[in-house]
Amino acid sequence: MLLTILFANGILAATMYLPSLPAISEALAVPVDMLPLTLTVYFVTFAGGQLVYGPLSDRYGRRPLLLGGLAIMVFGSVACALADSLSALLWARAVQGLGAASAMATGRAIVNDVYDRQQAARATSVISASLALAPIIAPVLGGLVEHYLDWRINFWINGGITLAVLLILVRRLPETHIPAAANGSLLRGIVAAYAFLLSNRAFLTFGLLNLAIFAGLHGFSAGAPAVLIGTMDLSAVNYGILIALGSAGFFIGALLSSWLGGRLGLLRMIDAGVIFTLLGGVGMALYVALVEPSVMAIILLRLIWAIGMGLAMPNSVVGAVGVNPATLGAGAALSGFLQTAGGGLGSAVNALVPAGDPLALALAFAGTAVFGAVVWIISRRAARAALAR
């Protein structure tokens, strides 16, 4: 339960404000095309921070790194709520992302601290199924906040949730990793851990697949408001509801993974996930290009894609983190870094393409699915060999 809250909080902070992008553009007097950068900078520090938190948690324990990071996130959320310019909002989002990074890096390591690989895969699937509620709730809540209140309230909510989670964890979270006595230079140990992972083909297979999935997830999230609200004239509330329906596919996929993963295994669950992401991503591009832009078609095809994410992501995460049991924190950090880098890359691409163009959004979305499928097809054998070991 604590880990579910931990991960869901980061998702809410990342995306809940997205229905307010047009309103933020007006309030801060900046072009709406620039505002996806507020998602990009969050993911830059979210990704980079994990690379620090992970190996530090291997050396000093999970608990202090997690609690310190959440305190930073509270500060960043408050700064976002008080921002009066685009530059101030970008800096505040960077601080918010840096704090949130601690939860991703240490949370995944905690799962692998207390479970073996099969149990960890099942636990991660269960957590992911619960986490699927966060991307469902986030756009609905964000749409309601935008419609009835003010865009700044999104960040006050983020800060309040983070503070509440921090206070709960101070009392209830035990230390799950008792580090061995430190040997040698900290920097040398970090470099050695990452050098091993980056030279391991199985790790890169799982990691790059996750990068592709998260590029699709957050690239679509960054570009969809301009298309569905700006071009197709949806209200912020209706946008939030429809995006939530599309996100329900992740919940379905993660539930299927938790039920079937023990019988079918990690590789087959990832196989199924890759197929569904291709159907959703490439299907959206073909429909928009050959038929016509349609709100319901975009939402339904994204739902199919999201089922694939729910099937593939929990299993590829466990595969990546567990490649080297001696460096679970570094593995969790680098895996999370690649995911977050994918999210930042996806949102950055959508900041470069024409805002509000349905075909540009669909093609970028399809490209991420194709990239992930190519990575998996080429290197599936290496992943299978790593799991056998």
- CA distances 375 to 121, 220, 247, 300, Å, are 21, 21, 24, 25
Model pTM?
0.72
| pLDDT of 135 strictly over 60 | yes
What is the tens place of the pLDDT at every residue in 315-328? 888 777 767 666 66
User: Does the residue 124 lie in any domain?
Assistant: yes
How far apart, in whole angstroms, are the C-alpha atoms of residue 14 and residue 97?
8
User: Does the residue 180 lie in any domain?
Assistant: no
User: Does the residue 181 lie in any domain?
Assistant: no
- Domain span at residue 81 reads 2-174+186-388
Domains in the chain, number: 1
**pLDDT at residue 1, as a whole number:** 62
- What's the average model confidence in pLDDT over 156-170? 86
User: Does the residue 375 lie in any domain?
Assistant: yes
Q: Which residue, 163, 158, 134, is CA-closest to 145? A: 158
Better-scored residue on pLDDT, 115 or 360: 360
Q: 270: domain CATH number? A: 1.20.1250.20
CB count in 10 Å sphere of residue 172: 9
How far apart, in whole angstroms, are the C-alpha atoms of residue 298 and residue 364?
13
- The amino acid sitting at 7 is F
What is the tens place of the pLDDT at every residue in 1-56? 666 777 777 777 877 888 788 888 878 878 777 787 888 788 788 878 888 887 78
Q: Which residue, 100, 98, 92, 81, is CA-closest to 37? A: 92
Q: What residues have CB less than 8 Å from 290, skipping those under 6 apart?
A: none
User: Does the residue 179 lie in any domain?
Assistant: no
CA dihedral for 349, 373, 206, 9, sign (positive or negative): positive
User: Does the residue 88 lie in any domain?
Assistant: yes
User: Does the residue 61 lie in any domain?
Assistant: yes
**pLDDT at residue 95, as a whole number:** 93
User: Does the residue 95 lie in any domain?
Assistant: yes
